Structure 1
Amino acid sequence: MPLPSQPTGARRPRATVIDGAWRALGPGLESLSGPGGAPLTRTVKLIVLPLIVRPALHPELAADFLAPEPAARLDALIRESGRRLVATAQWFTLLKRTRRALGVVAGNPQDLYFQRCFELAAEHGEPGAVAGAGALARAVVEDVADADGGRTVDALKRYLADAAQQARLEVELGVAWEGRRLTPAADTAAAVALAGEVLEACGGVDGPRNSPAYSSMVEAGLGELLGRALWTHASGVWGRDDLPAHLGLTERELPPRPQVGRGASTATLPAPLDRTLFERLFVVLQSSARREELPTVPELVRREVGRSCAPLGLHDETLRVAALLGGQLAVGLDPLGIEAASPGRTAAHRAVNSRWRREASVLRARRMTVSPCHDPDGGVLDALAQDLRTPWTAYMRRLWVRLHGRDVRDAPLTDAGSAWAVLDGVARSVMMDHRARVRSALRTLTAPAAPPAAVAEAAESRSA
């Protein structure tokens, strides 16, 4: 069924156009689709947009809302690619089968193989028409596995499985944790005030301005100061007694001492500051498009011991300052406009909140999430509504993961402009993720039950 959207003249949401064109292609795309028949998020992100739509070459197709002519062009591009997409789906099924036979488990198959499968489909067509398709699939799986130079989750698991290694790392973690310096929470007031200055400069209508306050924060070590304050019983750090100082970065009252760990699952990852060494590096290895650029597994582990016991779980001070700025931004996020009159708003808050509130494609869905009468079972929509009322948790957790990834790669944020690009990008990512979840919830509430085979296929596509 069509996705709910607000009328915007004659324009249509690009996502709706893609969804309609995809469904019109018919059967054969199950391995690239979700249980309801829509393209998987990764299908759109990795195949449809970069390889078929190609917005860089067709800028008229890059907008979120399309006039009739661009919408028709987008629909035609997807329909014209139908046979190649069916072949892509068949190659993906073959590569997954080959991957299982070879015992490869590292990485998400969609991330690793979607684009390679599209290339195979473009060059060879359907695998059933190719002599030696199995050997070709094996070569691709082995090539992808070798490209990371052993920087895999499996390699990490083997490295940390040794009992002597575990014991040594636990001792090192204990020493690093006991050597921390703690800071009273009252000392963070000046840091938060400077953060407001930086956000005011970053959120201007003419784009981010260079802020001397950002350099001052880095030089004064104010990000480190905040991180050390979180190790104490800090309260009122953000000018609001109703918010924990850590803003959801831990589920505990205080961050616990990191453990080594031996396993992880994307479905059950704890809050960032509660994660084990294994869980921290699991996320890095799973999400890295270029694992060959990472340090080797032993070096990753060695550095993570110190990083996990550092303030905010980060080494680089520019990244810790970015976390402080993100916290100040996060406490003022108000997508529902409930606290529009609250003091302390900066230009950055106004820019982000304004963008979130004018999400035309989900205005109807957002109204449903805050109206209990539309959710008689008090289920999914109620949970989504709560996310909109407390957006700082999702924002800070996603920001921390971005900053941690940069820390592992030694990629600091050297000025206010680069920091704002990350902060704003995370805000957009959280907003887009919530929009997708609302759409999925509404689709689930109105769609008939998916056949068991489709559910099994979707579950397999999400396994690592």
Structure 2
Amino acid sequence: MPLPSQPTGARRPRAMVIDGAWRALGPGLESLSGPGGAPLTRTVKLIVLPLIVRPALHPDLAADFLAPEPAARLDALIRESGGRLVATAQWFTLLKRTRRALGVVAGNPQDLYFQRCFELAAEHGEPGADAGALARAVVEDVADADGGRTVDALKRYLADATQHARLEKELGVAWEERQLTPAADTAVAVALAGEVLEACGGVEEPRNSPSYMSMVEAGLGELLGRALWAHASGIWGRDDLPAHLGLTERELPPRPRVGRGASTATLPAPLDRTLYERLFVVLQSSTRRDELPTVPELVGREVGRSCAPLGLCDETLRVAVLLGGQLAVGLDPLGIDESGPGRTAAHRAVNSRWRREASVLRARRMTVSPRPDPDGGVLEALAQDLRTPWTAYMRRLWVRLHGRDVRDAPLADAASAWSVLDGVARSVMMDHRARVRSALRTLTASAPPPAAVAEAAESRSA
């Protein structure tokens, strides 16, 4: 079967247009850029798209691939904003320095300050004589807006021995009171999930499927969670896949604990996380902590949520896990198993998008014609991720749904659910692309210069 091709004609990926325009702006953007000079993912997400491109006002700039005229307008929009972006970078550097001086450690500075820095640049230009006072006011304002909803506050709350013991007891009681007996058969749930994915996926305006509300009303998401507790198998029509699809590293989800610390670099699988780790992620990633409950209320609710089916309370979100699982088992970016189960419009849309990625094309060639990996296995490991894409997809989906559950933000209909499912697929794809680029930059930087290679070849032949 021929390898999938890039879009024909003069259409260009929007991400490539943004990257080219950004690099053309020149120096002064280092704090908003990655090591290779491209804009950071958060720069694009928080500044370039919502504040410069504004796809809601310019729908022709919202597509993944742009014709020459929209591409030229997008390029011009970014170049015209060059001065303001340089000022934004300067304000961000100043706010980070002020943040350290004030001892503020909670939250990601990019999430907290990027858009505020763009506003400062629009109002004041580059930092001037009064910039220090303005920066201090912004940092304090953002910190006050948290209302004590910070990682430090969570750590202090759970460090109290009395609180810790009480919460461990409550977790134990909630865990013992679970309903362990799942329904006899999950085939109906999976079949309905396929109907929803067929109705929603791959169309510009997803259709709302009555099957979605049927799933919610029947509690099929809860059914899946209870089935995982009972070690059900064969749920997805593939015996080679665990029923939990990587949501836990254990055979069965373990009883949650309170915990005392967390690190983004070593977070366990979602259903293996402690109370602290679950809320740590919510507080770290939130840009509007004022919309969250207070820390005591957050903790109290999380006790029940962590012992609920799939670690979620809202049934629409649990159904989204079921839909995501049905989508995940059919993800096939390498085009290895075209006859796999559950192929729907949603699978075709997501898989075709992935297969256009250059990194996927290389990984596919490595899979079809395996050869010794000259890079020491770095790219081979990234290719392996594409052979088992369901784990990364399900873990990112769960985190996103958990955040909605904490904020009481259900998914009202099938179109809303598909928006989340498709968004997670795009996010996983973009993350994999970034990791491949980073690996290639590292390999290029460590490669010997051509003269050295030629000299070594001559010495071997002598």
> Normalising to structure 2: TM-score of the pair?
0.88
TM-aligned CA deviation for residue 275 of structure 1: 0.7
TM-aligned CA deviation for residue 460 of structure 1: 44
CA distance change for structure 1 residues 153 and 355 in 2, over 3 Å: closer, same or farther? same
Higher RCO (C-alpha under 8 Å, 6+ residues apart): 1
List gaps (5 residues or longer) in structure 1: none
CA distance change for structure 1 residues 85 and 453 in 2, over 3 Å: closer, same or farther? farther
More off after superposition, 47-56 vs 366-375: 366-375
CA distance change for structure 1 residues 212 and 19 in 2, over 3 Å: closer, same or farther? closer
TM-aligned CA deviation for residue 305 of structure 1: 0.2
TM-aligned CA deviation for residue 123 of structure 1: 1.9
Aligned residues of 1:314 and 1:320 also touching (Cα < 8 A)? yes
Q: Deviations over 1:81-111 (max 9, x none)?
A: 3332222212111111110111111110011
Aligned residues of 2:312 and 2:318 also touching (Cα < 8 A)? yes
CA distance change for structure 1 residues 133 and 336 in 2, over 3 Å: closer, same or farther? same
Residues of 1 paired with 2:412 and 2:455: CA distance? Answer: 44
TM-aligned CA deviation for residue 340 of structure 1: 0.4
TM-aligned CA deviation for residue 268 of structure 1: 1.7
Aligned residues of 1:332 and 1:349 also touching (Cα < 8 A)? yes
CA distance change for structure 1 residues 32 and 204 in 2, over 3 Å: closer, same or farther? closer
- 1:5-404 alignment, distance < 5 Å: 6=6, 8-128=8-128, 131-183=129-181, 186-203=184-201, 205=203, 207-359=205-357, 363=361, 367=365, 372-373=370-371, 375-404=373-402
Q: Secondary structure at the match of 1:185?
A: coil
CA distance change for structure 1 residues 64 and 370 in 2, over 3 Å: closer, same or farther? farther
CA distance change for structure 1 residues 227 and 2 in 2, over 3 Å: closer, same or farther? closer
More off after superposition, 386-395 vs 186-195: 186-195
Aligned residues of 2:208 and 2:414 also touching (Cα < 8 A)? yes
CA distance change for structure 1 residues 236 and 91 in 2, over 3 Å: closer, same or farther? same
TM-aligned CA deviation for residue 175 of structure 1: 0.9
More off after superposition, 141-150 vs 336-345: 336-345
More off after superposition, 264-273 vs 359-368: 359-368
CA distance change for structure 1 residues 250 and 350 in 2, over 3 Å: closer, same or farther? same
Residues of 2 paired with 1:216 and 1:152: CA distance? Answer: 39
Residues of 2 paired with 1:229 and 1:463: CA distance? Answer: 64
CA distance change for structure 1 residues 352 and 36 in 2, over 3 Å: closer, same or farther? closer
Q: Deviations over 1:44-81 (max 9, x none)?
A: 22222222333334444333333444434333333333
CA distance change for structure 1 residues 367 and 17 in 2, over 3 Å: closer, same or farther? farther
Residues of 1 paired with 2:22 and 2:168: CA distance? Answer: 51
Q: Deviations over 1:13-36 (max 9, x none)?
A: 332232233223332222111112
Q: Secondary structure at the match of 2:420?
A: helix
CA RMSD of aligned residues (A): 7.1
More off after superposition, 166-175 vs 341-350: 341-350
Q: Secondary structure at the match of 2:266?
A: coil
Corresponding residue pairs, total: 462
TM-aligned CA deviation for residue 316 of structure 1: 1.4
Residues of 2 paired with 1:97 and 1:456: CA distance? Answer: 47
TM-aligned CA deviation for residue 174 of structure 1: 0.9
> Normalising to structure 1: TM-score of the pair?
0.88
Q: Deviations over 1:331-383 (max 9, x none)?
A: 11111111101243233323322333344796457646876548412433212
Q: Secondary structure at the match of 1:3?
A: coil
TM-aligned CA deviation for residue 38 of structure 1: 1.8
Residues of 2 paired with 1:459 and 1:440: CA distance? Answer: 29
Q: Secondary structure at the match of 2:184?
A: helix
Residues of 1 paired with 2:423 and 2:81: CA distance? Answer: 31
Aligned residues of 1:36 and 1:450 also touching (Cα < 8 A)? no
CA distance change for structure 1 residues 259 and 319 in 2, over 3 Å: closer, same or farther? same
Q: Deviations over 1:401-427 (max 9, x none)?
A: 121112112222233332222222222
TM-aligned CA deviation for residue 308 of structure 1: 0.2
Residues of 1 paired with 2:101 and 2:455: CA distance? Answer: 18
Aligned residues of 2:375 and 2:443 also touching (Cα < 8 A)? no
Residues of 1 paired with 2:452 and 2:59: CA distance? Answer: 35
Aligned residues of 2:18 and 2:74 also touching (Cα < 8 A)? yes
Aligned residues of 1:6 and 1:362 also touching (Cα < 8 A)? no
Residues of 2 paired with 1:381 and 1:355: CA distance? Answer: 20
Aligned residues of 1:223 and 1:320 also touching (Cα < 8 A)? yes
Aligned residues of 1:34 and 1:458 also touching (Cα < 8 A)? no
Determine what percentage of the aligned residue pairs are the same residue.
92
